[in-house]
């Protein structure tokens, strides 16, 4: 304790305290308080003051966010956590660091929207897409909803916060027809690993992470199926294999014969591969992108993203009149816009799906 007696004090309260502490903003401060009758009273004041400061620190916005992220990371995928943290660090912490979360008002949040979300580029145009604006705004809402449920705040300032941005993207998705896909694949045969990978992507609708997570034991050649039960990502130079995106993503995907043969031949090139070995352990995002760019350049096909192979698969199956429920089950998408009008997935439907894919690939000779 830092209690002192002022021997020159003339009166009944000669004791005072002088001590250092760190305020909410992290700045070093010196506190001096005079007028205590006894040493015990002075020491009690210092003790309670420091307890109050410590308590107030718990309500620092960045401390609440830190707890929020710790809690969220236990429930979401690593890649989602990275995105969430990046948004918070770029848009939210710079605006509210050092503030007591209990003091932040709806008006302050509206000002934050105006400053951070509707920023203009050098040409005076809106810098961020409406879907991204909504994503960032929703992240702010999530933090304050967490704070309210965790009883950091008694009144939630986002309750009356205007909704901004748009859930629907204005981006025009590009998909390839089956003819486009065959042309592309014929022109990337020299990228052997990518050639195998893109055959799988275009004819199964797998997500890239699902493809890269496939192990030898996930492939059943006799039944011609892939068991999708995990997803792969790379972060800070480390490989991560985790459960799939959603519960519905854990599924079996039936394969056309020509795709099953490609996978089988690819695995056989390995010397005694273990069941847990990733089939495409040598592939990377950059390698797949290089092959995609090369194929587009050689064929003149419109440039697409790797993920658009999934959109193309769904679109082509729809054009074959495959029931949407069957498509949803195949690509692991439990979504109303796919399954709204279809209630049952049947073996007959799956057989019809594979039969039609076989027909599409019948004139496609795999070498």
The pLDDT tens digits of the residues spanning 94-145 come to 999 988 898 899 999 999 999 999 988 888 888 888 889 999 999 999 999 9
Range of 137's domain? 62-149
138, burial (CB in 10 Å: exposed 0-12, middle 13-18, buried 19+): middle
pLDDT of residue 346: 47
pLDDT of residue 335: 56
Sheet holding 225-228, edge to edge: 219-220, 225-228, 251-254
Model confidence at 342, pLDDT cuts 50, 70, 90, reads very low
The residue-averaged pLDDT of 61-69 equals 91
Please report, for the domain that includes residue 89, its CATH number.
1.10.150
For residues 41 and 17, state if they share a domain: yes
Distance of CA 349 to the CA centre of its chain: 33
For residues 185 and 264, state if they share a domain: yes
Torsion angle of the four alpha carbons 333, 335, 337, 342, in this order, in degrees rounded to the nearest 10: 90
Please report, for the domain that includes residue 344, its CATH number.
1.10.443.10
For residues 182 and 329, state if they share a domain: yes
For residues 31 and 76, state if they share a domain: no
Separation CA 353–CA 315 (nearest Å): 13
Sheet holding 15-22, edge to edge: 3-5, 15-22, 28-36
pLDDT of residue 314: 86
3-state secondary structure of 364: coil
Model confidence at 334, pLDDT cuts 50, 70, 90, reads low
CB count within 10 Å of CB 91 equals 21
pTM over 0.85, yes/no: no
According to the per-residue pLDDT averaged within each range, which of 97-106, 181-190, 343-352 is highest?
Answer: 181-190
Let me know if residue 87 belongs to a domain: yes
The pLDDT tens digits of the residues spanning 201-254 come to 999 999 999 999 999 999 999 999 999 999 998 877 888 888 887 777 899 999
Residue that finishes a domain, picked among 101, 132, 149: 149
Let me know if residue 164 belongs to a domain: no
For residues 320 and 279, state if they share a domain: yes
For residues 243 and 101, state if they share a domain: no
Q: Return mean pLDDT, the chain.
A: 86
Could you give the number of structural domains in the chain?
Answer: 3
For residues 217 and 337, state if they share a domain: yes
pLDDT greater than 70 at residue 345:
no
For residues 220 and 288, state if they share a domain: yes
Contact partners, residue 89, CB within 8 Å, separation at least 6 = none
| CB contact at 8 A, 100 and 60 | yes
pLDDT greater than 70 at residue 337:
no
For residues 23 and 83, state if they share a domain: no
Sign of CA dihedral 335, 337, 338, 340: positive
For residues 143 and 42, state if they share a domain: no
């Amino acid at each position: 304790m830092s209690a002192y007696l002022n021997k020159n004090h003339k009166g009944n309260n000669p004791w005072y305290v002088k001590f250092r502490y760190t305020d909410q903003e992290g700045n070093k401060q010196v506190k001096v308080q005079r007028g205590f009758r006894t040493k015990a009273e002075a020491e009690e004041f210092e003790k309670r003051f420091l307890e109050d400061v410590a308590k107030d620190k718990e309500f620092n916005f960045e401390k609440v966010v830190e707890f929020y992220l710790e809690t969220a990371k236990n429930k979401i995928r690593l890649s989602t956590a990275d995105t969430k943290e990046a948004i918070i660090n770029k848009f939210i912490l710079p605006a509210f660091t050092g503030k007591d979360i209990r003091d932040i008002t709806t008006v302050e949040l509206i000002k934050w929207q105006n400053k951070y979300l509707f920023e203009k580029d050098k040409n005076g145009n809106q810098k961020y897409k409406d879907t991204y604006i909504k994503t960032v705004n929703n992240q702010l809402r999530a933090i304050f909803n967490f704070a309210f449920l965790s009883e950091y705040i008694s009144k939630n300032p986002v309750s009356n916060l205007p909704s901004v941005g748009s859930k629907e993207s204005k981006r025009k998705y590009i998909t390839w027809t089956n003819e486009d896909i065959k042309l592309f694949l014929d022109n990337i045969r020299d990228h052997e690993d990518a050639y195998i990978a893109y055959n799988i992507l275009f004819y199964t609708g797998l997500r890239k992470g699902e493809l890269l997570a496939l192990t030898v034991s996930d492939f059943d050649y006799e039944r011609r199926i892939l068991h999708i039960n995990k997803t792969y990502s790379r972060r800070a130079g480390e490989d991560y294999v985790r459960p799939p995106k959603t519960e519905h993503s854990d599924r079996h995907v039936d394969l056309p014969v020509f795709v099953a043969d490609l996978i089988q031949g690819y695995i056989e090139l390995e010397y005694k591969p273990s069941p847990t070995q990733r089939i495409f352990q040598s592939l990377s995002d950059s390698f797949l992108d290089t092959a995609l760019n090369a194929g587009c350049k050689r064929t003149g096909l419109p440039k697409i993203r790797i993920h658009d192979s999934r959109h193309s698969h769904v679109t082509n199956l729809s054009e074959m009149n495959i029931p949407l429920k069957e498509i949803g089950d195949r690509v692991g998408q439990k979504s109303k816009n796919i399954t709204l009008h279809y209630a049952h997935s049947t073996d007959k439907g799956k057989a019809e799906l594979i039969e039609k894919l076989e027909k599409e690939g019948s004139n496609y000779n795999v070498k």
